[in-house]
Amino acid sequence: MLMTFIKNRLPSFSRSFLPLKGVNMSSHLQWMVIRNCSSFLIKRNGQTYSTEPNNLKSKNSFRFNGLVHRKTVGVEPAADGKGIVVVLKKRAGQRKPATSFEKITINKNSRATLNSLRHIIRKNNYRKDLRMAALRRASAILKSQKPVVVKKQRSRATKTA
């Protein structure tokens, strides 16, 4: 995207020096390109949110962005409504979007699920800065999957005169 933009702006004699295939841009350069003009942006009430996949806090920030980093962590609810799906971006095959993500379904009780998620992030040396955000998101998803228990109202005995 950026290379085609540059190629169209340069005179024809300097185009021959540019590489023909896609260029690996640094994550900081990618962030500078997409931070204010992304289809995932939602600007509302003085806040800027982002709806891209693998953004744990839905904030439009470099740290939580799910598009520009080589390693990202995403936590989603499972399709059957029980448990969570942990989505990890693989280092290999980043140019093939269909195979660039690894999805791990965890369907245990809440304590074991959170321990498994903590273990996945810690043992794979996978973005330590996102560990707490991933645990909080998983905890919120698991809490939302619990059935709602309706408390019965105690009826007061009416006084008879």
Contact between 109 and 138 under an 8 Å Cβ cutoff? The reply is no
Tokens of 35: 């931070």
Is 157 part of any domain?
A: no
Distance between CA atoms of 89 and 93, rounded to whole angstroms?
A: 10
Contact between 42 and 32 under an 8 Å Cβ cutoff? The reply is no
Examine the domain organization and report whether 76 and 137 are in the same domain.
yes
Examine the domain organization and report whether 95 and 46 are in the same domain.
no
Q: Which residues span the domain enclosing 52?
A: 23-69
Contact between 124 and 134 under an 8 Å Cβ cutoff? The reply is no
Examine the domain organization and report whether 79 and 43 are in the same domain.
no
Contact between 114 and 135 under an 8 Å Cβ cutoff? The reply is yes
How far does CA 116 lie from the centroid of its chain? 18
Examine the domain organization and report whether 40 and 99 are in the same domain.
no
Q: Which helix (H) or strand (E) holds 77?
A: strand 73-77
Distance between CA atoms of 9 and 5, rounded to whole angstroms?
A: 6
Is 95 part of any domain?
A: yes
Examine the domain organization and report whether 123 and 136 are in the same domain.
yes
The CATH code of the domain that includes 92 is: 3.30.390.110
Per the structure, the count of domains in the chain is: 2
Examine the domain organization and report whether 137 and 89 are in the same domain.
yes
Is 98 part of any domain?
A: yes
Which of 69, 94, 129 lies at the terminal end of a domain, its last residue? 69
Confidence category of residue 2, pLDDT binned at 50, 70, 90: low
Examine the domain organization and report whether 65 and 87 are in the same domain.
no
Q: What angle do CA 118, 40, 73 make, to 5 degrees?
A: 15
What are the pLDDT digits (tens) for 87-144?
998 877 777 878 888 999 999 999 999 999 999 999 888 888 999 999 999 999 999 9
pLDDT at 14: 43
Contact between 81 and 91 under an 8 Å Cβ cutoff? The reply is no
Q: In the Cβ-directed half-sphere of 145, how many Cα atoms lie within 13 Å?
A: 19
Examine the domain organization and report whether 47 and 65 are in the same domain.
yes
Is 84 part of any domain?
A: yes
Q: What percent of the chain has pLDDT over 90?
A: 48
Examine the domain organization and report whether 50 and 75 are in the same domain.
no
Task: Report the predicted TM-score, pTM, of the whole model to 2 decimal places.
Answer: 0.74
Is 126 part of any domain?
A: yes
Examine the domain organization and report whether 90 and 139 are in the same domain.
yes
Examine the domain organization and report whether 28 and 42 are in the same domain.
yes
Per-residue pLDDT for 160 more than 80? Answer: no
Is 40 part of any domain?
A: yes
